[in-house]
Amino acid sequence: QSVLTQPPSVSGAPGQRVTISCTGSSSNIGAGYDVHWYQQLPGTAPKLLIYGNSNRPSGVPDRFSGSKSGTSASLAITGLQAEDEADYYCQSYDSSLSRVFGGGTKLTVL
Amino acid sequence: QVQLVESGGGLVKPGGSLRLSCAASGFTFSDYYMSWIRQAPGKGLEWVSYISSSGSTIYYADSVKGRFTISRDNAKNSLYLQMNSLRAEDTAVYYCARDTGLQYGMDVWGQGTTVTVSS
C-alpha cells in the first residue's frame, strides 16, 4: 500500500492528451512538500521527468507538464507518442522527511 | 559524464547479509545527498534510505529500520548499503540515486543491482 495513490493504468491514442493523478494527504503533499515525477521505460532505471511540481529538467519535452493543488498532483502528457509508453511514478515527502512514492501508473499508447 | 554504478547484489539466504556499493563519477560527490530506492519484481518503487552530504543525517524506511545501514565515503566517491537479517521481501533491484533535496528530486539514477533472498 503506497503512501501516494496513483491509478494503476491509463491509456491514450497517439496525439491525445492523458493525465495521471497522484493523491496524498495533509502529512505529505498537503503539507506543502513538492512533488516530483519519474518515467521508467521498460527494463531501465527511472528518470526524473518533472521536479518541484511543474519544472522540467533539461532535455524533457514540453509535452510533459506537472501541477499540484492541495493534497494532489497531476502529470499531463500531450501529443502522446509511442515512446511515452512507460511506468510513471510520483514522489514527495512526509513530515519525517522520508521520501514517499506513488504506486506507479502504466501508460499504454493504443 | 555524471554516472552512478551499483554493485554487490546477489543471491543470499534468509537471515544473511549483503553490502551494496554505489560508485559516483562526473560530479562532486561530497556536495550531494544520496538515496537508495528498491523495486521488487513486478512492483513499484520503494524508497529505502537517505544520507546527507556529510553523512550526519540519515533516514530509513520503516521496512528496513534496524536491519539496513546506509553510509558513504566521500574520499572514495562511494555510497554503501549494509543489509542484515535479510528477508524474502527484500528481494528487489536496488538503485542508488543522487538526491538533490526537497525541491529538486532524485536527478541521477544508477542502473541497479539485483538482490535475491531465497533459500
**For residue range A31-62, what is the model confidence (pLDDT) as tens digits?**
999 999 999 999 999 999 999 999 999 999 99
pLDDT at B83 over 90: yes
Q: Where are the beta strands (DSSP E) in A13-98?
A: 18-23, 36-40, 47-50, 64-69, 72-77, 86-93
Q: What is the mean pLDDT of chain B?
A: 97
Q: Best residue in B102, B111, B114 to probe A by mutation, most A CBs within 10 Å?
A: B102
Q: B18, B15, B14, B3: which is closest to B114 by C-alpha? A: B18
pLDDT tens-digit profile of A94-109? 988 899 999 999 999 9
pLDDT at B116: 98
User: Which among A33, A38, A101 has CB closest to B102?
Assistant: A33
The single-letter DSSP state of residue A57 is P
Closest CA to A23 of A83, A90, A95, A106: A90
What ranges make up the beta strands (E) of B26-105? 33-39, 45-51, 58-60, 68-73, 78-83, 92-99
Q: Span B72-87, mean pLDDT?
A: 98
Strands A64-69 and A105-109: unpaired
Helix (H) and strand (E) counts in chain A:
0, 9
Chain A residues with a Cβ under 8 Å from any Cβ in chain B: 2, 33-34, 36, 38, 40, 45-48, 51-52, 57, 87, 89, 91, 93, 96-104
What distance in Å separates the CA atoms of residue B7 and residue A70, rounded to the nearest whole number? Answer: 40
- Cα distance between residue B45 and residue A7, in whole Å: 15
Burial bucket for residue B105 (CB in 10 Å: 0-12, 13-18, 19+)? buried
- Does A66 have pLDDT greater than 90? yes
Of B100, B105, B109, the CB nearest to A91: B105
Check whether B77 has a pLDDT greater than 90.
yes
Q: For residue B78, which of B10, B13, B3 has the smallest C-alpha distance?
A: B3
Give CA–CA dist B50/A75, Å, rounded. 25
Instruction: Provide the phi-psi class of A32: left if phi over 0, else alpha when psi is between -120 and 50, else beta.
Output: left
Helix (H, G, I), strand (E, B) or coil at B79: strand
Q: Write out chain B residues lying below 8 Å of A104, CB-based.
A: 44-45
Q: Name the pLDDT band for A24 (thresholds 50, 70, 90).
A: very high
Q: Could you give the CA distance from residue A73 to residue B6 in angstroms, rounded to a whole number? A: 31
pLDDT at B60 over 90: yes
Q: Judge: A52–B106 Cβ closer than 8 Å, yes or no.
A: no
What pLDDT sits at residue A104? Answer: 97
Tell me which of B106, B107, B114 to substitute to probe the interface with A (most A C-beta atoms closer than 10 Å): B106
